[in-house]
Chains A and B, each alone.
Chain A
Amino acid sequence: EAQVTQNPRYLITVTGKKLTVTCSQNMNHEYMSWYRQDPGLGLRQIYYSMNVEVTDKGDVPEGYKVSRKEKRNFPLILESPSPNQTSLYFCASSPTTFGIYEQYFGPGTRLTVT
């Protein structure tokens, strides 16, 4: 089944403890992206990658890191999480380099930072 998977689905952590949220897609898509969704603010793009080893900042990149060493994986790293990073996170992939066609979203990761 073609899909985007994220792990973990739920995570509660403490301020300052480094964490990684994994994202993997099995559709051989070029483009991958991370978003966070907050009430009243909608879905905002954190980082995106148009291909392996190519990443770029979205609208809210502060406090996050990403890497794209393989086509299928695009992990999101929070080096020192803070409570304002409590949010619902979505990973997405798209078949084109520019990601301007349809995006396929993962199921989401609900992160709570205390």
Chain B
Amino acid sequence: SQKIEQNSEALNIQEGKTATLTCNYTNYSPAYLQWYRQDPGRGPVFLLLIRENEKEKRKERLKVTFDTTLKQSLFHITASQPADSATYLCALSMNYGGSQGNLIFGKGTKLSVKP
């Protein structure tokens, strides 16, 4: 079955630096890959979506890349701030057969930005 892994459970960085989070997947070729932010006790909040035919997507300080050869997505937060501290989830969805509605999440990376 498809597997999705986020490189680390926790990432600590200094304010102002760029945070880079990794999402790797195996066995299938997702049509779409999404990134969400989750704060403790709250539902995930959508950040960015990238399609299989796109290499990169940007939104303000956020950037996502998608390498279908490496089966990897990188999520970058530039000029990070303490308010960026949260858990970040990647999720992928397929585009074949009856699985279009099936969304698979990684376990998340908890980012802590220290002032």
Please, which residues of chain B bring their CB within 8 A of the CB of A58? Answer: 102
By secondary structure, the A interface counts as strand
- Chain A interface residue bracket vs B: 20 to 34
Report Cα–Cα, A48/B99, bound state, in Å: 11
| Contact pick for A45, options B95, B100, B103, B107, CB 8 Å | B103
Is the pair B101, A103 in contact by a Cβ cutoff of 8 Å?
no
Say yes or no: is B44 at the interface (Cβ < 8 Å to chain A).
Answer: yes
Number of interface residues of B (CB under 8 A): 25
Is the pair A99, B101 in contact by a Cβ cutoff of 8 Å?
yes
B23 to chain A, nearest CB (A): 12
Is the pair B101, A56 in contact by a Cβ cutoff of 8 Å?
yes
Q: Which residue of B lies closest to A101 (CB)?
A: B49
Is the pair B101, A50 in contact by a Cβ cutoff of 8 Å?
yes
Say yes or no: is A12 at the interface (Cβ < 8 Å to chain B).
Answer: no
Chain B residues near A (Cβ < 8 Å): 31-32, 34, 36, 41-46, 49, 89, 91, 93, 95, 98, 100-108
Seed contacts A103-B103, A108-B41; 10 additional CB < 8 Å A-B pairs: A31-B101, A33-B103, A42-B105, A43-B89, A43-B91, A98-B100, A100-B32, A100-B101, A101-B49, A106-B43
